[in-house]
């Protein structure tokens, strides 16, 4: 996700979390759209919006009325509906970063806005006959029709929510992911219009029960745009000098073209020595031919490799001859002495004199 903008489209089911005496709404359907930006391979931040719709359940059966709507989809045909909207901010943490499959965690906050409407989408008032169980025995609501001042009130409100969710995604391509997950939104009642001056909200029968939570399950997909595209990377390793007598100090240099910065370097010098510097200096203490390898890894995990040959030779062999005496009368006996420096230490030195 890093550096990319993602446009997500999701759909699913939700259920309002209410106290039992107001559990009169069926599970609802919702559509979600979000726009997010990947700030790293694990983290993304974004904005989201939901359109949500649920229906007043048919609770004409006395057992249903006492148990509440629960997960029943039996609704009052052409009856009251509840429309809701979510507008908020979120942050998403993807546990496995650049993996093509990963679970993720989402947290967020925003506004949850709801209203009760008729089949034509018009907001209902509290004294609407369609909400009166005496008018329609299928209705399981029992709410006050008048507020503290004796006036009917609109059945709509807004509340601040905090949310958390879990899910997992799969990337079949760099520009597309599929998601499946769930979200829980806790409604704080901050910003509600149902304040003490109305005195109608509560958990007892005959009081209006504001929604306290929303549970959602969803599936969908996200399209990704932009982001940093990494060209193929090519590493190059050089050594100076590439040959010489032991002990031999070599200055290595690593470079890379392409890939995505930042880069990490790994050298293996062939005699057991290693380095993570880009330009390490290394001294060989043993004669031999060494294949030095360099691997460069970019920020996306792409690896490129190169190698360079180093030949470490014996020191130059130098000979010295001396004689004593170096002049005299015939017959003259001379004591000669030969010495050798350098050369390969494990080789046998042989001497050959020509007088």
Per-residue pLDDT at 242: 95
Q: Is 270 left (phi over 0), alpha (psi -120 to 50) or beta?
A: left
Rounded mean pLDDT, 236-255 = 95
Res 319: pLDDT? 94
Let me know: does 128 contact 154? Beta carbons within 8 Å: no
pLDDT > 90: percent of the chain: 68
Q: What pLDDT sits at residue 157?
A: 94
pLDDT value at residue 41? 85
pLDDT in tens, 35-88: 999 998 899 999 999 999 999 999 887 766 667 788 889 999 999 999 999 999
Instruction: Identify the band that residue 20 occupies on the pLDDT scale cut at 50, 70 and 90.
Output: low
Res 271 pLDDT > 80 = yes
pLDDT at 206: 76
- The C-alpha atoms of residue 354 and residue 85 are separated, in whole angstroms, by 108
Give the CB-side neighbour count of residue 8, counting CA atoms within 13 A: 29
**Fold for the domain defined by 234-313:** Immunoglobulin-like (2.60.40)
Average pLDDT of span 169-183: 94
Tell me the CATH architecture of domain 4-226.
Beta Barrel (2.40)
pLDDT of residue 172: 94
Over residues 295-322, the mean pLDDT reads 93
- pLDDT for residue 19: 67
Residue written as tokens 């089949």? Answer: 119
Give 327's pLDDT tier (boundaries 50, 70, 90). Answer: very high
Given a cut of 70, is residue 287 above it in pLDDT?
yes
Task: Work out the pLDDT band at 272, boundaries 50, 70, 90.
Answer: very high
* Domains 4-226 and 234-313 in one fold: no
- Is residue 230 scored above 80 in pLDDT? no
Could you tell me the residue ranges of all domains in the chain?
4-226, 234-313
How many whole angstroms separate alpha carbon 206 and alpha carbon 133? 12
The confidence score (pLDDT) of residue 296 equals 96
pLDDT, residue 196, reads: 74
Is residue 228 very low, low, confident or very high in pLDDT (cuts 50, 70, 90)?
Answer: low
Q: State the CB neighbour count (10 A cutoff) for residue 159.
A: 21
Note the pLDDT of residue 354. Answer: 95
Mean pLDDT of 141-151: 87
pLDDT given for residue 61 in this prediction? 78
From CA 13, how far away is CA 27, in angstroms rounded? 7
Q: With bands split at pLDDT 50, 70 and 90, how would you rate the model's confidence at 297?
A: very high
pLDDT at 63: 64
pLDDT given at position 154: 94
d(CA 236, CA 244): 22
Residues 235, 238, 242: CA angle, nearest 5 degrees? 150
Instruction: Count Cβ atoms below 10 Å from residue 11 Cβ, excluding itself.
Output: 11
């Amino acid at each position: 996700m890093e550096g990319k903008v993602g446009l997500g489209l999701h759909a699913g089911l939700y259920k309002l979390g209410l106290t039992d005496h107001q559990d009169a709404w069926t599970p609802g359907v919702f559509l979600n759209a979000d726009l997010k930006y990947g700030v790293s391979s694990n983290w993304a931040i974004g904005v989201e919006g939901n359109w949500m719709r649920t229906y007043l359940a048919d609770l004409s059966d006395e057992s249903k009325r006492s148990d509440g709507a629960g997960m029943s989809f039996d609704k009052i045909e052409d009856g009251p509906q509840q429309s809701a909207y979510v507008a908020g901010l979120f942050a998403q943490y993807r546990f496995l970063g650049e993996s093509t499959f990963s679970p993720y965690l989402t947290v967020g906050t925003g506004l949850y806005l709801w209203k009760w409407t008729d089949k034509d989408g018009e907001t209902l008032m509290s004294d609407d006959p369609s909400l009166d169980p005496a008018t329609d025995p299928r209705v399981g609501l029992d709410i006050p029709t008048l507020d503290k001042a004796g006036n009917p009130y609109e059945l709509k409100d807004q509340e601040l929510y905090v949310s958390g969710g879990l899910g997992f995604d799969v990337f079949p391509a760099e520009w597309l992911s599929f998601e499946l997950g769930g979200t829980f939104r806790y409604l704080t009642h901050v910003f509600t219009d149902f304040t003490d001056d109305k005195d109608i909200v509560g958990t007892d029968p005959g009081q209006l029960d504001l929604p306290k939570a929303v549970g959602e399950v969803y599936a969908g997909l996200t399209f990704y745009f932009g982001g940093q595209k990494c060209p193929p990377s090519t590493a190059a390793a050089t050594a100076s000098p590439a040959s010489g007598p032991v002990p031999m100090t070599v200055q290595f240099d690593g470079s890379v073209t392409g890939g995505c910065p930042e880069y990490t370097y790994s050298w293996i010098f062939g005699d057991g020595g290693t380095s993570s510097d880009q330009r390490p200096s290394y001294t060989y203490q043993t004669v031999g031919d060494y294949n030095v390898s360099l691997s460069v890894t970019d920020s996306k995990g792409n690896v490129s490799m190169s190698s360079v040959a180093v030949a470490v030779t014996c020191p130059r062999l130098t000979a010295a001859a001396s004689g004593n005496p170096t002049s005299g009368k015939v017959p003259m006996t001379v004591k000669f002495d030969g010495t050798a420096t350098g050369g390969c230490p494990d080789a046998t030195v042989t001497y050959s004199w020509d007088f």
